[in-house]
Structure 1
Amino acid sequence: MSKASTIEENFTKLEEIIEKMESEDVTLETSFDLYSKGLKLIKDCNDKIDKVEKEMKVIEGGSEDE
């Protein structure tokens, strides 16, 4: 069972993907694969940030609907 990545780990992975995509010898197929992996990492980061924001609202006594 693999552990969930942290936001920081995802940012590091995204930086690696960007570097690979900027390489002159990357194929179109590889670019699409890297792009797809990057989108999944971004979605995971957004989900984690949303979760933290909701937790902060609860801690601050605010409503999640704001």
Structure 2
Amino acid sequence: MAENKDIRPTDNSGDNTNLTFEAAIARLEEIVRALEGGGAPLDESLSLFEEGVSLVKLCNEKLDKAEQKVKLLTVGPDGTTSEEEDFGGTDK
């Protein structure tokens, strides 16, 4: 049974850059639940969707930065990585 929480778009005008990855994912999950519930008016649903898109972009950027940092940290003295690690995700 779906929980019908009254979730509103945040007032930060799309500025989610100060959120941690985990906080962004948690907010994204709230938005998905609210949109799947279908109880919000159209304008509010569109605002939530817009916020969700922004959060997905933020999460992707944070994941890309983390991946680059891991690659940087695993570079050997000869400039090559020891081995390509598969982190279990699917490539684009």
The TM-score bracket by the shorter chain reads 0.7 to 0.9
Q: RMSD over aligned Cα, in angstroms? A: 1.7
Partner of 1:48: 62
Moved over 2 A (4+): 22-25
| Alignment TM-score, normalising by the size of structure 2 | 0.60
Identify which of 17, 41, 45 aligns with 1:27. Answer: 41
Question: Is 1:11 aligned to 2:40, yes or no?
Answer: no
Percent identity, please. Answer: 33
Post-superposition shift, 1:22? 2.2
TM-score by length of 1: 0.80
Cα distance, 1:60 vs structure 2 = 0.6
Q: Which has the larger radius of gyration?
A: 2
Counterparts of 1:22 and 1:51, CA distance in 2: 30
In structure 2, the gaps of 5 or more residues are: 1-16, 82-92
**How many residues are paired up?**
61
In structure 1, the gaps of 5 or more residues are none
Comparing both structures, which one devotes a greater share of its residues to helix? 1
